[in-house]
Amino acid sequence: MVKRGDLQEGISSSEDAAKNRRKRRKPIKSCAFCRKRKLRCDQQKPMCLTCKSRGRPDCFYTQEFTHSIEPDELFGSTPNIELLQKVDELEKKLNGKGLERENVAEKRKTARNPYANLYHFQCKGSGRRIAYGPTSLRTYLFNDNVEFVKRYNQLRSRKVKIEINKWKAANTWTRMSEFGVLESTLVENNNSNVLKQICESLPSYEQTLNIITDFFCNERGTNDINQVLDKNKVINDFKSSFLPGNKLQSNGERPIETLLLSINKNYYKIGVILMILCICHFYENTPPEVEKYVVMLTGFTTAKASFIEHAQFILLRYHHRELFLACGDDSHMISLVDLLCSSAVTLGLHLDIREVYKDQENIVGSLKSLENLWIWILLSDFNVSLNVGRCLAISSSYFQADEYENDDDSHTKTVNGLPATLFGESDTCVSKIKRFLRLARPMVDEIYDKSCFPDLEKNCKILIDFVETEFASISYFTSSDLISKVPLGETKVLLQVLNLLLTFYSLRFLVSRERGVVLKNNILQTILVSFSVVINTTRMCFDLDKEHFPELFAPDCPNLSPFMALSLAYTNFLFPRASSVFCSFLYHNLTLFEKGHYLSSDNIDQNLADWDLSTLNIPLDKDINILSAFQTYSEIFDGWLNSNNQELRNIMCRSCTFVAIIAMESICRTVLKKVIECRTRVENSRLQQLHNINTPIDPSLNDLHVTTNNVPMGDAPAVLLPDAQNNNNTVNGGSTQQELTNKDNTDVQNNEAGLAQIISDEFWAAYNTGWEELMNQPDYKCLFDTH
């Protein structure tokens, strides 16, 4: 017979044992995405219907992993698939081979580079194929948000591209002018060779000499590329190769009658001078005869063409294309830069120039100009590598810029009232470009090195330190009043740094799947600073053109003015990246439906008054409001293209690249406006129907924490249900306060998941309907219409 005390003791022991036993957990059958977003999952494999409908590239189920650690203990309510895979892999290694744990630093050294094999392969219906690598904007877009790219391409192909093609037809503009050389009619007069035909399209002898002289005038600052040439040598080459006729024209000037080659058949001396004319006189309207000569000269493959002028000619052609035929991804530059880099190494520019070319200045020009030539070639290689996404063509072992560092006692000088130490050499940005390349090229090399794991977070910090050390305050560039105090060359280098910085942020978001507040803040701040610098640079260059080239503002002038062309060369690579990444990033956040989080248009301007664009560093305790960022972004561009800047817009519309840039910005903003408008309407409607209340909502889209009665709720319920509104600390109905809290939390989670699913379904239904209405508008206006 069991005594009462024994029975009670046995019961207590059983209860203790039960408490100590780990509760049996229900197997998690939903995929990671649906579980994280609290969406219904049909659990189909290899991909559930939800992931398939959203165009996701993968669909993971946590039961695939073999390790015994409970997911909630490591990952909370959001499983980290990459970490799960890594844990699974390490467990197999440890169990199978008895390997000891490696330290974190060693893992980074031996881990596979996750960036090296990231690519996008473009396939045109015409048969053209281009492979874009990890740092290309195209690769980011087509590997990140499939839905955003789909919407973007729909609007671009069905609305905007038609208008761009109309502009091209009206302005007879094309990037395929080289093909015209093959399609042109052969000259019937055998006595009229290519050189003779060129003479007929050139300005007078005296005018050409003035153009060359102005090209080397540093006072205006439009032609910083002139640093790669020796002025005296170029003028002497002109006088010896471009011979005037004896017959005077009506204006008293002499025509150029003959182009005379040197004994060694150095056609590139003439080529260099023709490219100066293209940059400073013909602009984008290169005469067919000159185009033919340039194309033929570019295609020479013989070693007999290894002149220093060969590299100078190719670089000037590259620069001319930057100014007037630019495209955001630099794909039109690939062949030119390959040829340029090959020529530079063949000429020994990667060696010690002061030793290799000693006592040859009467033939090749000043040694300083050759050093500058080498730095500009390295910069062009860097640009194409970053924008197209490919390895550097020139090995980093060739770059010895530190041997030539010379600031010409700039510490004692000033530039526009600011200390010249901020700007390196007093009249050139080459020294700063050297320091940037010495810093940046190894970073780009790492992206393609499969044997290492690039530390992009560290690289980002290094680049920000470089900005703070090398430049005046960012406020000089983001202020429309102060930017004129900064040399244009400074802006050029800063824009290069911002482009690389944003590329690394994008890769961290896309490949490393970083989703923290710090990275989000850095992305948004860098993009908004970039937009501000781009807009201010364009405005400043417009004002400089009005001052120095008023004749080019005549309504019948078709050419892009010199400073505006320069601003395009400086900003063309950064603007598309900043605009596309910004809008893709916002689209990603705006189309998440998780944890009962909502946005509201009531408070989107709460952070605008004190927005600080004078720094790239954001305090760790600050969380940038995404909708406030969108409004700031909109205000930046509305200020650029409002009715008060009609003259600026008219000048911009002379350039197909500017037209495309404006169109891209309009496309992205149209996509985002449609998302914000639709989501806000659906959420407000649903909340009104369910609760018949107006809930104050924090629109921050980082965690999208909901606030009720101005009290931060974090992961608390989006809207407190009646059975969850219990402020008493007393026992209710025999249940403890803890039990009630647990019940409330369960109710809250179920409510959040259900409401998030409802809003998600209603949003996509409404958004798709609204999008089709936009696409089907017959009277849809050109997004970049400036008239």
Domain encompassing residue 669:
468-787
What average pLDDT score do residues 117-145 get?
86
Domain stops at, among 31, 62, 87: 87
Give the integer Cα–Cα distance in Å for 737 and 209.
91
pLDDT at 87 over 70: no
Q: In terms of pLDDT, which residue wins out, 755 or 545?
A: 545
pLDDT tens by residue, 290-343: 999 999 999 888 888 899 999 999 999 999 999 988 776 788 899 999 999 999
Residue 452 near residue 458 (C-beta atoms within 8 A) = no
What average pLDDT score do residues 409-428 get?
40
Residue 698: per-residue pLDDT: 39
Give the integer Cα–Cα distance in Å for 54 and 43.
15
Give the integer Cα–Cα distance in Å for 787 and 647.
10
pLDDT at 73 over 70: no
pLDDT at 218 over 80: no
Give the integer Cα–Cα distance in Å for 116 and 444.
11
Residue 682, domain member (yes or no): yes
The position carrying tokens 């194929």 is 129
Q: Which two tokens stand for residue 477?
A: 């560039």
Residue 417, domain member (yes or no): no
pLDDT at 462 over 90: yes
591 to 69, 517, 584, 621, 701: CA distances (angstroms): 32, 18, 11, 25, 10
Residue 405, domain member (yes or no): no
pLDDT tens by residue, 241-287: 999 998 888 888 999 999 998 878 899 999 999 999 999 999 888 89
Q: In terms of pLDDT, which residue wins out, 719 or 85?
A: 85
**Amino acid identity for residue 548 in this structure:** H
Phi and psi dihedrals of 157, rounded to 5?
A: -75, -35
**What letter would DSSP give residue 255?**
P
* H helical segments located in 471-514: 475-478, 488-510
* H helical segments located in 549-655: 562-571, 574-590, 626-640, 646-652
Residue 482: per-residue pLDDT: 92
Residue 754 burial (CB count, 10 A): 13
Helix (H) or strand (E) holding 720: none
Residue 249: per-residue pLDDT: 86
Q: In terms of pLDDT, which residue wins out, 396 or 97?
A: 396
The position carrying tokens 């957990």 is 25
pLDDT band for position 93 (cuts 50, 70, 90): low
Residue 322 near residue 297 (C-beta atoms within 8 A) = no
**SS3 assignment, position 473:** coil
Lowest mean pLDDT of 129-138, 404-413, 631-640, name the range.
404-413
Residue 562, domain member (yes or no): yes
What average pLDDT score do residues 202-211 get?
96
Q: What is the DSSP string of 207-240?
A: HHHHHHHHHT-TTT-S-GGGGGS-HHHHHHHHHH
Residue 237 near residue 273 (C-beta atoms within 8 A) = yes
Q: Which two tokens stand for residue 198?
A: 């060129």
**SS3 assignment, position 732:** strand
Considering the chain, what percentage of its residues have pLDDT values greater than 70? 70
Q: Which two tokens stand for residue 120?
A: 């996008």
Q: How many domains does the chain have?
A: 2
pLDDT tens by residue, 519-543: 989 999 999 999 999 999 999 999 9
Residue 241 burial (CB count, 10 A): 20
pLDDT band for position 644 (cuts 50, 70, 90): low
**Amino acid identity for residue 360 in this structure:** Q
pLDDT at 712 over 50: no
Residue 301, domain member (yes or no): no
Question: Residue 502: CA atoms inside 13 Å, Cβ hemisphere, count?
Answer: 29
pLDDT band for position 64 (cuts 50, 70, 90): low
Phi and psi dihedrals of 173, rounded to 5?
A: -105, 140
Cα Rg of the chain (Å, integer): 32
Of 54, 211, 2, nearest to 763 by C-alpha is 54
pLDDT tens by residue, 98-109: 444 344 445 455
Residue 459, domain member (yes or no): no
pLDDT at 605 over 70: no
Residue 596: per-residue pLDDT: 46
Average pLDDT in the chain: 76
Lowest mean pLDDT of 209-218, 285-294, 428-437, name the range.
428-437
Of 767, 662, 635, nearest to 160 by C-alpha is 662
Q: What is the DSSP string of 25-48?
A: PPP--S-HHHHHHT------SSS-
**In terms of DSSP bridges, do strands 256-259 and 418-419 run parallel, antiparallel, or are they unpaired?**
unpaired
Residue 227: per-residue pLDDT: 92
Lowest mean pLDDT of 114-128, 149-163, 575-589, name the range.
149-163
Give the integer Cα–Cα distance in Å for 118 and 132.
9
35 to 61, 147, 510: CA distances (angstroms): 10, 20, 20
544 to 103, 222, 304, 399, 484: CA distances (angstroms): 57, 10, 43, 35, 10
Residue 716, domain member (yes or no): yes
Residue 403, domain member (yes or no): no
Residue 58: per-residue pLDDT: 78
Residues 6 or more apart whose Cβ sits within 8 Å of residue 391: 385, 445, 448
Residue 192: per-residue pLDDT: 65
The position carrying tokens 């009232």 is 417
Q: Whole-model pTM?
A: 0.75
> Across the chain, which distance is largest between two alpha carbons, in Å?
137
Q: In terms of pLDDT, which residue wins out, 385 or 421?
A: 385
Residue 480: per-residue pLDDT: 87
Domain stops at, among 58, 87, 116: 87
Looking at the chain, the number of H-run helices and the number of E-run strands are 31, 8
Q: In terms of pLDDT, which residue wins out, 507 or 23?
A: 507
Of 653, 520, 654, 534, nearest to 582 by C-alpha is 520
Residues 6 or more apart whose Cβ sits within 8 Å of residue 579: 531, 664, 665, 668
Of 422, 424, 512, nearest to 471 by C-alpha is 422
What average pLDDT score do residues 682-711 get?
49
Domain stops at, among 66, 87, 108: 87
Give the integer Cα–Cα distance in Å for 443 and 464.
14
pLDDT at 174 over 80: no
* H helical segments located in 692-780: 737-775
N-term to C-term CA, the chain: 102
